Amino acid sequence: MTLERTLSIIKPNIVAKNLIGKIINKFEITGFKIIGIKMIRLNKQQVENFYKLHINRYFFKDLVNFMISGPIIVAILESENAIKLHRELIGDTNPLKALKGTLRAEYADSYTENGFHGSDSEKSAMFEINYFFRKDEIFSGVN
Ligand code: CMP
């Protein structure tokens, strides 16, 4: 069994709607082990660095303003095929295309305010996990 890790973000609109518990429960019943988790509020520079691949896109400014608008939850989820499994659970980036039953189909407000983020590859998972977590904040294989 090969365990994989992915970085999950519960974005400000979902936190504001008091849905943290519901979403975390969904992660656990789906089979993910939560091996790191915290609530943080990002500043402009932190968001710009995190989403630097999108810096020239037309939606970048809106994305940054949204992501600094309130606290978020960042979590490291661990399971077999965690990256793919988590992306299937949250649904398409565009909530209008997200399949029924996915988190974005149910809880997103718009494309920019799509509620959730998940790493899209092993390389980005590594970057994103290291972006938010120190080694001593990750608890894998301890219980
Ligand atoms: P996320 O998975 O966090 O990765 C980049 C984010 O940019 C994405 O979710 C959306 O919130 C936002 N985004 C990507 N494409 C668009 C778009 N075409 N219009 C508006 N927002 C977008």
Predicted pLDDT at 1: 76
Predicted pLDDT at 7: 98
Predicted pLDDT at 21: 98
Predicted pLDDT at 141: 75
Residue 60 CB less than 6 A away from ligand 1? no
The residue type found at 46 is Q
The SS3 call for residue 36 is strand
Predicted pLDDT at 39: 98
Known catalytic residues are 117
* Distance from the alpha carbon of residue 94 to the mean position of ligand 1, in angstroms: 7
The SS3 call for residue 79 is strand
Domains along the chain? Answer: 3-135 (3.30.70.141)
The parts of the chain modelled with pLDDT lower than 50 are: 143
128 closest CA partner among 4, 9, 1: 9
Contact 89, 79 (CB under 8 A): no
Tell me the best of 11, 61, 112 to mutate to test the pocket of ligand 1, counting ligand atoms within 8 Å of each CB and taking the most.
112
Predicted pLDDT at 142: 62
**Residues 15-29 pLDDT 10s:** 999 999 999 999 999
Locate the ligand 1 atom nearest the alpha carbon of residue 60 and give its number. Answer: 7
**Residues 43-67 pLDDT 10s:** 999 999 999 999 999 999 999 999 9
